[in-house]
Amino acid sequence: MEPAKPLVVCLMGPTAAGKTELALEIISSLPEFAIISVDSAMVYRELNIGAAKPSLAELRKAPHQLINTRSIREPYSAAEFVKDAKQAINEVIQRHQIPLLVGGTMLYFRALQQGLAELPMADMTIRKKIAMEAQQKGWQALHQQLAAVDPEAAKRIHPNDPQRLQRALEVYYVTHKPLTTHFEQSVINQTTYQFINLGLLPEDRAWLHNKIALRFKAMLAQGLIQEVEALFKQNLDSHLPALRTVGYRQIWQYLAGQYDQTMMIEKAIAATRQLAKRQLTWLRSWPELKQFYCEDPALAKKVIEYLSKHIRH
C-alpha cells in the first residue's frame, strides 16, 4: 500500500475576499497549520500597503512564509514560486505542521498543483520592444497580433491584460512557437502532496465590488500614494512586473501626470474589479474546489469545522 501523501490546504479567492483575515482565524483555532503566502505582490519587500500585506502584529501572531523575499528590481516567475513553495511546504511538514497556502495568484496555485510548461526566461529587450509598440499602437492592436499567431491564447487573454498579453507575445518572439503549443507539450507533474482546495467566492458580486472600493480608499488613507512616490523617485523602470501590479500601476501613471487623482482612483478600482473577475473565472473551473461564501458571517466557523474533520479523521 502506498504511503499517504502529506496534506496541503490551499485557501484561494479573489482580491478583497478576506483571505488573510480568515487564515489568521484558522491559525488561531488550529495551531497545527502554518501559513505560506501565494501572492505575486507580497513577495516584494517594497510593496506593502497596496499589496495588502499582513501587519507586523499579525505576522508576529502568524508568520507567513514567502513574503518579502524579493526586491522589486528582481522579476519573480511562477517557476521560481513553485521551487520556493515546495521548499517551504517541506519545511512545514518536517515541523509536523500542515501547510496552509493562502493567496489569489491563481497561476501560482495551478503551477504548483498541475505543473508548468517549459517556457523561456524573461527577455527584457523583447519586453521593452513590445511595451514601446503598445504605447504607440495600443494594447488592442497587440491583442490582434496575438490572435493572428495564437488564436487560443488570444481567447483566454483579455486585451486589457497587458502583463499576460506581453508574456504571450514574448514567448512567441523568443521561441517562434505559440504559448498554447508550449502548454500542450507540457507534462503535468505527479504531485507528491494531497491538496484540499478551499475557494472563497462572493454570493453577490456587488458585495465584492463594494469591498474593493472601500479597501482601495482605506489604502490611500494609510499612505499608499506616498509609498508609490518613494519608488517613483528612485528612477525605476515602469515596466518592472512589481510596478504593474494593480493599484501601483495606476498611482505610478498619476504621479507621471497621465491623469488626475479622481481618475486614478476610478481606474485603480476598475482594474481591481477586472482582476477579481479573472480570479473568479479561474476558481469556477478549479477541480474539486470546496466553496465557501466570503460574505457569510459564519465563514470562519464553517471553514474551521470543515478543516477539523479533514485533519483529525
CATH no. for 7-116+187-311: 3.40.50.300
pTM flag (> 0.85)? no
User: pLDDT over 70 for what percent of the chain?
Assistant: 94
| Averaged confidence pLDDT in the chain | 91
H or E stretch covering 224: helix 224-232
- Asked if residue 273 has pLDDT above 90, the reply is yes
User: Does 21 or 151 have the greater pLDDT score?
Assistant: 21
Asked if residue 21 has pLDDT above 90, the reply is yes
Given a cut of 90, whether residue 18 has pLDDT beyond it is: yes
Cα 194–chain centre separation: 22
Enter the C-alpha cell of residue 39.
501572492
How many helices and strands, by DSSP H and E, does the chain display? 14, 6
State whether CATH 1.10.20.140 applies to domain 124-185: yes
At residue 2, the pLDDT reads 55
What was the pLDDT predicted at 75? 84
Domain ranges of the chain: 7-116+187-311, 124-185
Residue type, 138: G
Q: Is the pLDDT of residue 30 over 70?
A: yes
Give residue 254's pLDDT. Answer: 97
In this prediction, residues 273-287 reach a mean pLDDT of 94
Q: 150-207 pLDDT, tens per residue?
A: 888 887 787 877 878 888 888 888 887 787 776 655 544 556 899 999 999 999 999 9
* H-state helical runs in the chain: 19-29, 56-61, 78-94, 106-114, 124-137, 139-149, 151-156, 162-175, 179-185, 205-222, 224-232, 248-255, 261-284, 299-311
Query: For the residues 135-160, what does the mean pLDDT come to?
Result: 84
Query: Helix-strand-coil percent breakdown of the chain, rounded to 5?
Result: 55, 10, 35
pLDDT of res. 303: 98
How high is the pLDDT of residue 187? 47
Per-residue model confidence as pLDDT tens digits over 47-75 = 999 999 999 999 999 999 999 999 999 88
Predicted confidence at residue 183, as pLDDT, reads 63
